[in-house]
Structure 1
Amino acid sequence: MKTDSPRAWLLAVRPYSLGNSVILIFAASAMAFSDGAFHGMPALLCLLFALTMQCTANLVNDLCDCRKGADRPDRLGPDRAFSKGYITLPAMKAGIAAFTLAGCLAGCGALAWAVAHGTLRYGGWELVGTGLACVLFAYLYTAGPWPLAYHGMGDAAVVLFFGLIPVGFTYYLQTGTWTAQVTAIALACGLAIDTMLLVNNFRDREEDARCGKRTVVVALGAAFGRWGYFALGTGAAALCLTLLPDGRPWAALLPLPYLVLHLRTWRKMVRIDHGEALNVCLAETARNILVFGILLTAGILLG
């Protein structure tokens, strides 16, 4: 692969994972639409912010995991662009800066729209603080003196920054409110998306232990990884069912086929147990999350 080529950058941003950001904004915007308060411009700006921040986090992760020894030439997961030498250090730093700047511009645009349309309760400072927290998370997940991913905080961070914050604040930006239903949907999305991190950490548990990366799977063992993956997916489906008493039967029931896919992947993960063959479970998990997001969004729109 040619150094710093478009193919190298495509590998680095991990396109298979970017659907996670898309389903979050779609689900939140579907809630806003169903509540009669959808606005296309802030929804688009939130989507751009989420995608650029995820790309930033992926690039920082690519760089820092290599430098910390977590991405060695014999790694089990998909190739990483920086560790393979496909992207040079100056180009990687420039790419991280560019995606960060693009995310900040999108966030500022969303803030400007909300202030102009008077949808915010606290003058916009709540969005400023949240946006800064998202930028910090993109870096501190694997960078800095106390990287979250290396101290067992990765899963909690994913539920927060790939669940509660993007779904809750995308809805809040358009409507000026935050409801219990939105919280349930946000948590359901966060749990479903965390299955991707957990299957990664389950596959890499031996490598992570050798390099001092104490994920929850390293700290609590492979059995926790197996049952944790099971619990995350079933928990996501169960949270959708809480929408049933609130008069949203489609949103509650339509995501249930996801659970079938999730359990099939879980059984395959348990059977394979270790090694590069677990990458098929990673691919299926990415597919399952996308199916969950599509079904949930459709269910919200149907009522």
Structure 2
Amino acid sequence: METKMEAPAAVQANKGFRVWWQLMRPHTLTAGFVPVTIGTALALHEGQINILLFLAMLIASLLIQAATNMFNEYYDYKRGLDNEESVGIGGAIVRDGVKPETVLGLALSFFGIATLIGVYICMESSWWIAVIGIICMLVAYLYTGGPLPIAYTPFGELISGLFMGLIIILLSFYIQSGSVTTESILISIPISILVGAIMLSNNIRDLDGDKENGRKTVAILIGRKNAVNLLAAMFAVSYLWVAGLALSNEFSFWLLLVFLSIPKANEAVKGFKGKMKPIEMMPAMKATAQTNTIFGLLLTIGLTVSFFL
């Protein structure tokens, strides 16, 4: 009897962990940590790195990204957009029975922890960081919350790329170096594009459902085929941009390491072509996020290696 009772408890525990992990939508968390590592690696060229500041920025960025995903889960449920058959969602509310208020409360708790970490970052750098941090959290909330969510408009890719790419890289660079340079802005552009690509891949997958619910995403406005072509163009521009930086006098040829991630970008584009069902496009969406991760890590390695050589 004891053996029979212990197994279900273990299964339940594993399921519980899976529910909360999926709620954070781990495939999107790459947009939280890649910009921080790049901004910090670039700051190496300006002086020594404060590891505690790096870790604080990393954790705060991941918490805000996870909270954004939870707001998405909560408000899509409240608007009746999610059901048990919905693909790509955490599913904590509609499939696993988690109370909507619990999801909202957890998201706000993550914001609260990120705010406390932000106070430490400000104490070690500048209180102007607090202003930018508040704006970032407001945008994160308004991405799916509020009367007109950003995610329902054609500006989702642009806003996400701007804040989770350029802004986070510049913040990560600034808290270490105390400045914002032309180089830091230039290096943030391809990552901003790739973060936007993650959002675009999500909107390509959800095109039909979003259209039925009155959303006006870029994928809906230009159509699925053109959206996939746009995704390919975003990848191409990111690689060409880095190639241009590597050929300039301000950066090293080591940045060309990012080209090792091209097969994954190619996999993402091919994975969308000819697909119509959301479940069929999940591997392509995953490959898009992986492209950002691999590209970002290789860029970080390139920046770090060029500092020591």
- Report the TM-score when normalising by structure 1: 0.91
Displacement of 1:163 in angstroms is 0.7
What's 2:145 paired with?
Answer: 143
Q: How does 1:110-129 map to 2 (within 5 A)?
A: 110-115=121-126, 124-125=127-128, 127-129=129-131
Q: Specify the alignment match of 2:45 in structure 1.
A: 34
Superposed CA offset, 1:1-49 (max 9, x none): 9699333211101122212211111111100113324221221111111
2:263 is matched with: 260
Q: Is the 8 A contact 1:70 1:213 kept in 2?
A: no
Hey, what does 1:61 align to over in structure 2?
72
Report the Cα distance in structure 1 between the residues aligned to 2:229 and 2:116, rounded to whole angstroms: 40
Across the aligned residues of Structure 1 and Structure 2, the Cα RMSD in angstroms comes to 1.9
Amino acid at match of 2:24: V
What's the CA shift for 1:161?
Answer: 1.3
Over residues 177-199 of structure 1, what are the superposed CA-to-partner deviations in whole Å (9 max), with x where a residue is unaligned?
11222112212111112222111
Larger radius of gyration: 2
Partner Cα separation in structure 1 for residue 89 and residue 106 of structure 2 = 20
8 Å CA contact retained: 2:24, 2:90 = no
Paired position in structure 2 for 1:119 = none
Q: SS where residue 125 of structure 2 aligns?
A: helix
Which amino acid in the other structure matches residue 6 of structure 1?
F
- 1:24 pairs with one of 31, 35, 38: 35
Aligned residues: 294
- 1:120-163 CA-partner distances (Å, limit 9, x unpaired): xxxx23x1221011110121000001110112221011111111
Counterpart AA for 1:131: G
Runs of 4+ in structure 1 displaced over 6 angstroms? none
Q: What one-letter code is carried by the residue in structure 2 that aligns with 1:278?
A: M
Could you tell me which residue of structure 2 aligns to residue 44 of structure 1? 55
Give the fraction of aligned pairs with identical amino acids, expressed as a percent. Answer: 23
In the alignment, the residues of structure 2 paired with residue 163 and residue 105 of structure 1 have an alpha-carbon distance, to the nearest angstrom, of: 22
Q: Distance in 2 between matches of 1:257 and 1:249?
A: 16
Partner SS state of residue 148, structure 2:
coil
Gaps of 5+ in 2: 1-10
Q: Which amino acid aligns with 1:280?
A: P
Structure 1 runs not aligned, ≥5 long? 116-123
For 2:82 and 2:221, the matched residues in 1 are separated by 19
- Residue 166 of structure 1 is matched in structure 2 by 168
Decide whether the 8 Å contact of 1:8 with 1:86 is kept in 2.
no
Q: TM-score, normalised to structure 2's length?
A: 0.89
Work out which of the residue numbers 221, 224, 227 in structure 2 matches 1:222.
224
Instruction: Give the Å deviation of 1:78.
Output: 4.7
